[in-house]
């Protein structure tokens, strides 16, 4: 798939997504060759749904710093959503989080992206919240 429309800096899309259930990691290979490896637990903490994140100023479930069970961090399947996101289904049945490609790329855990975020003054890790 040659894709001239992918040239814009604001548009990210994965070339390949691979879930390794033995290693409990999700590998996202981006169209520009960059690779992001998310641990399942890390991915679960990024769930952007209203239940996990809260809405209308109310804290979400993840804001209560829950201890995640093995089932809650077990990736069962991943469905693509409208060409802009993926929706993972977790072992506890949770499946309402739409992880946009933009958000996944923004949270890329690799050292160079983490360093770039730190340099930009946008720490994304919970430990940096204060």
Smallest gap from residue 32 Cβ to Zn ion (A): 11
The residue within the footprint of Zn ion, chosen from 23, 70, 110, 116 (CB under 5 A), is: 110
Cα 26 to Cα 89: distance, rounded to the nearest angstrom: 13
Sign of CA dihedral 84, 17, 68, 121: negative
Smallest gap from residue 48 Cβ to Zn ion (A): 7
Q: Among residues 47 and 75, whose Cβ is nearest to Zn ion?
A: 47
Find out whether 47 and 94 touch, Cβ atoms under 8 Å. yes
Instruction: Check binding of 108 to Zn ion (CB under 5 A).
Output: yes
Smallest gap from residue 93 Cβ to Zn ion (A): 11
Burial of 47 (0-12, 13-18, 19+ CB in 10 A): buried
Q: Beta strands of the chain (E only): which ranges?
A: 14-20, 25-30, 35-39, 75-81, 85-90, 99-100
Smallest gap from residue 28 Cβ to Zn ion (A): 9
The residue within the footprint of Zn ion, chosen from 15, 24, 113, 124 (CB under 5 A), is: 113
Considering only residues 41 through 70, tell me which ones interact with Zn ion, judged by CB under 5 A: 47, 49, 52
Q: Among residues 121 and 130, whose Cβ is nearest to Zn ion?
A: 121
Instruction: Check binding of 19 to Zn ion (CB under 5 A).
Output: no
Find out whether 102 and 81 touch, Cβ atoms under 8 Å. no
* Residue carrying structure tokens 């890790």: 125
| Site residues, Zn ion (CB under 5 A) | 47, 49, 52, 97, 108, 110, 113
């Amino acid at each position: 798939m040659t894709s001239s429309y992918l040239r814009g800096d604001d548009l990210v899309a994965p070339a390949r997504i691979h879930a390794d259930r033995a290693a409990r990691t999700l590998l996202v290979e981006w169209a520009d060759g960059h690779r992001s490896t998310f641990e399942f637990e890390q991915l679960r903490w990024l769930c952007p749904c209203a239940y996990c994140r809260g809405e209308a100023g109310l804290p979400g479930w993840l804001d209560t710093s829950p201890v995640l069970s093995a089932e809650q961090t077990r990736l069962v399947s991943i469905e693509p959503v409208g060409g802009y996101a993926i929706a993972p289904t977790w072992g506890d049945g949770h499946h309402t989080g739409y992880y946009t490609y933009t958000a996944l790329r923004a949270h890329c855990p690799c050292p160079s992206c983490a360093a770039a975020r730190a340099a930009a003054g946008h720490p994304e890790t919970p430990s940096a919240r204060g």
